[in-house]
Amino acid sequence: MKRVLVCPLNWGLGHATRCVPLIRKELEEGNEVMFAGDGYPLLFLKKQFPQLKSFLSKSYPIRYSKGNSMVWQIIRVTPFVFLRMRSENKWLRELCKKEKIDKVISDNRFGLWNKDVHSVYMTHQVMVKMPDGLKFLEKPLYRLHKKIMEQYTECWIPDIEENRGLSGDLSHQFPLPKNAKYIGVLSRFDNLTEIEKDETYHNVVILSGVEPQRSIFEERMIKEYKDKEEKTLMIIGKPNKDIEEKKIGNITQYTHLDDE
């Protein structure tokens, strides 16, 4: 039996949700699984796996701008990201010794590798897409990211190789590191059987992401759909302990919904 630590990035819920099938697989193989994170991803995994041990591990201080361009905001916080990488690497070394961890799966957490344990880095974003005018930065950023990926024992790409997969340029434009491989698309709904529907909605809006853009997009979607004749279901990506329901015009809004 191996002791496995899973650590998703706190950048919306997508990194945490795609870790669910990986955690299930490790449990099916008889391994002891723990997870670490912060914010909504940590809350989400605690709801999914209340029986598993969890740890607080702060992610990077990323906050989007209120405007249309995120580039300069991300550039501004980049030095703080590198500082956090160093601190999270030290945190992991100490935790691995304390908990006798054999394997680490890091979903886009740059510093969660350890040369003494089997370290896996998971990302679909091998390259960083830049806007027009900054395209010249794509190759240097790819090389920097490649160096980070090569610190790990393995690099998993949650996509398919054929026909440029689902992520397109993000994981197919540049050569993968030698330790990387495509592992296929991940979904926590793989085992879900068909269930009876209590309601039928014409529109479904699913929100997630970094603030304040998540909230800005939520307000835009409310304005777009609240007065429409068709019914709209809106899930706003806030997996608190209790699921909260709210009616806004012809929108039924939930903070989050369970898988079934």
Per-residue model confidence (pLDDT) at position 73 = 65
Neighbours of 198 (CB within 10 A): 5
Which residues in the chain show pLDDT less than 70? 61-75, 77, 194-196, 241, 260
- pTM, 2 dp: 0.88
Per-residue model confidence (pLDDT) at position 60 = 75
Per-residue model confidence (pLDDT) at position 134 = 83
Q: Show the DSSP H helices in 103-168 as ranges.
A: 138-149
Per-residue model confidence (pLDDT) at position 220 = 95
Which structural domains are found in the chain, ordered by start? Answer: 3-182 (3.40.50.2000), 203-254 (no CATH)
* Strand pairing category for 103-107 and 154-157: unpaired
Per-residue model confidence (pLDDT) at position 41 = 93
- The CA-based angle 85-53-86, given to 5 degrees, is 10
Q: Show the DSSP H helices in 20-172 as ranges.
A: 20-28, 39-48, 71-99, 138-149, 169-172
